[in-house]
Structure 1
């Protein structure tokens, strides 16, 4: 039994069932979850504190960031095979997609039961659709609903007018969070940046946090520690050009002691995750590194972050389990979707920096074009010959070291304490 201040979890590995997508958890509605009894409203209810998550899960000390076209159900299946305790996020799903696809929800919302703890991330700027989408997602049993206020993509923040652009309208975000919370019984959270364009002062960030948390049930914020630039630069440049300001994140811990904050941005390995936690972070979210090098990042989460005993699994054993999953889901959406390429895509970085990695990718490309390669099993037979047995049969190696001093001087850089407008008025009087 692994124990963490207020949380407990029996540390055992549950194999994936052979039939995955067809029977989502809690999909059958009972009488208390029918449309007639769940109102699309912003009425005040009793909400769970995000620190008191379902006791069978460990706290979100480590989570994998929601990434469009990356953190789909297939990647999350691989991630859960490698780490039992990492918190997983879906891709951002636009509320409109869920509402307009209400007769095809399994394709967008279903997931294997073993993927818990799992968070659904919603995007949008229409209160009615956010309410309906939350209600439609409720029977799938997500452990938290997260609202995207951080995506800088022109498709989202530009023409879509949501994502990070919503940071400029905290009152609307509070209304959206109230609507979402009114239509679910799990905690809600916001993922945001530290600023937008010229609205990048620490006080402006605090104004956003203060207004959203004061006017809605939101008590958990995931903070990407860069501001976003909406002047047409690419999402990739928005992850690189604006400087990281970890001091803003740690100042939030000081100024909002009753809220929970997860740090995100520029943290690339387990050593750096632990450095952030040792500095006082409530939780750490890792994005591209967990996708581009899943074995060496996720493979250390359970032991180095949560103190659990190593599963001892090898890459070969993980792939055997993934094969069962993959062959069980091929074609289940209809029209041949998902296909082999979609199911295999999360595995393309599974042998990052290992001998045979380049040949593995070339053989994978060839297998995708081979008409005789119709199952995950046949794909592995064709492509895995590129990887030496010693790589396939070794457990995860020692975690690589992170950058030294990543948070060493952060406390010296903290901005002055935040004062709300009300406090400033009182002080001036």
Structure 2
């Protein structure tokens, strides 16, 4: 197993389909040097069947390290082939998706969250992936699926997967998945958060590593989760929709490192160079709309944001370069905002996990039929 030289994954940005693409990850890395970044989930079949076009799906700039490739699938042969093909791209970890509730994935694809119902297969899949790579393999899952949502059932899943495979790191989305009747968006908000399940896992599996995901939206809450014992914290849409105050404080408030001192204007200048180089390189590939999409939350809650968004909506229709897009829109933002560095992190619900011990589930006991 390769031991990397990066900061530990105390903080990571969740894999989000159609969101955590190369463009977003480039912006995220400009803001934070130490956040762990995840790709969108890639189906093993996509990698295998696009073998002649892999750069489109797997290529990234060296600056994006540390970066994790998330793979989904239920065909062991394709998982093995996809892993071998991905090795060329030198990801720092491979993550196996057992949490996506999308009907395309958990329904017709028969993988994602549905795989939580078959932990022995998950262990086999992890073993196949691990046998074809020299980087760590982790698992991202929910706390349950449909009516299989008890704490003991979650523990059975963790126990079997960790006992039968090399997986020792689990990223736990602290909601269950409902595979019938809810959309993927509703599955992110409607099933209740049960953080007590996550902290019960910390107690009952002290030899494993657990990252918490779901409902955490501020730097204060990240630090509160770490203080309560979480080995890492993963944030999704909050880090996408409001990147400056979240990612901007990761290096200092989470990792205790000096600030880069970059201003919003400097980040945008660097991102513009990246964006226009991509447009020149790929021609009919990504459009200005695709490249500036990660910027649309860049000034959230700041003076001028409303006018900026209106100008951005119009500029996306006509601009042929990122430079021209920024020239047309940044007039809406005061210089004081553009030239500001990271301020004090906004205060969040820092007491979110203060009384976690009071509602932990009863300790897990391995059932005789689950012993391996």
Please give the per-residue CA displacement for 1:319-362, whole angstroms capped at 9, x wherever unaligned: 0110111111115445x111111111000110011111121121
Which of these residues, 261, 265, 285, is aligned with residue 337 of structure 1?
285
Instruction: Find the aligned partners of 2:158 and 2:281 in 1 and give their Cα distance.
Output: 42
1:88 paired to 2:37: yes
1:276 paired to 2:225: yes
Please give the per-residue CA displacement for 1:147-182, whole angstroms capped at 9, x wherever unaligned: 000011111111211110000000110111011111
- What secondary structure, in the 3-state scheme, does the structure 2 residue paired with 1:364 have? helix
Which of these residues, 164, 182, 199, is aligned with residue 113 of structure 2?
164
Of stretches 223-232 and 274-283 in structure 1, the one that deviates more from structure 2 is: 223-232
Structure 2, unpaired ranges of 5+: none
Instruction: Find the aligned partners of 1:324 and 1:125 in 2 and give their Cα distance.
Output: 40
1:54 paired to 2:14: no
1:183 paired to 2:129: no
Q: Residue 116 of structure 2 contacts residue 145 of structure 2 at CA under 8 Å; is this kept in 1?
A: yes
TM superposition score normalised by structure 1: 0.85
- What secondary structure, in the 3-state scheme, does the structure 1 residue paired with 2:41 have? strand
| Correspondence for 1:322 | 271
Instruction: Find the aligned partners of 1:217 and 1:72 in 2 and give their Cα distance.
Output: 28
Distance apart, 1:424 and its partner CA:
9.1
Which of these residues, 382, 386, 389, is aligned with residue 335 of structure 2?
389
Superposed, which structure 2 residues align to 1:128-277 within 5 Å? 128-277=77-226
Instruction: Give the structure with higher Rg (CA).
Output: 1
| Correspondence for 1:348 | 296
- What secondary structure, in the 3-state scheme, does the structure 1 residue paired with 2:38 have? strand
| Correspondence for 2:251 | 302
Distance apart, 1:59 and its partner CA:
0.1
Q: Residue 262 of structure 2 contacts residue 341 of structure 2 at CA under 8 Å; is this kept in 1?
A: yes
Distance apart, 1:129 and its partner CA:
0.8
Instruction: Find the aligned partners of 2:370 and 2:208 in 1 and give their Cα distance.
Output: 22
- What secondary structure, in the 3-state scheme, does the structure 1 residue paired with 2:352 have? coil
- What secondary structure, in the 3-state scheme, does the structure 2 residue paired with 1:330 have? helix
Instruction: Find the aligned partners of 1:333 and 1:104 in 2 and give their Cα distance.
Output: 13
Which of these residues, 358, 361, 372, is aligned with residue 415 of structure 1?
361
| Correspondence for 1:406 | 352
Structure in which a larger fraction of residues adopt helix: 2
Instruction: Find the aligned partners of 1:126 and 1:359 in 2 and give their Cα distance.
Output: 49
Please give the per-residue CA displacement for 1:391-419, whole angstroms capped at 9, x wherever unaligned: 10011221111114211221111111111
| Correspondence for 1:23 | none
Distance apart, 1:240 and its partner CA:
1.0
Q: Number of paired residues?
A: 371
Structure 1, unpaired ranges of 5+: 1-46
Superposed, which structure 2 residues align to 1:352-363 within 5 Å? 352-363=300-311
Distance apart, 1:423 and its partner CA:
8.9
- What secondary structure, in the 3-state scheme, does the structure 1 residue paired with 2:52 have? coil
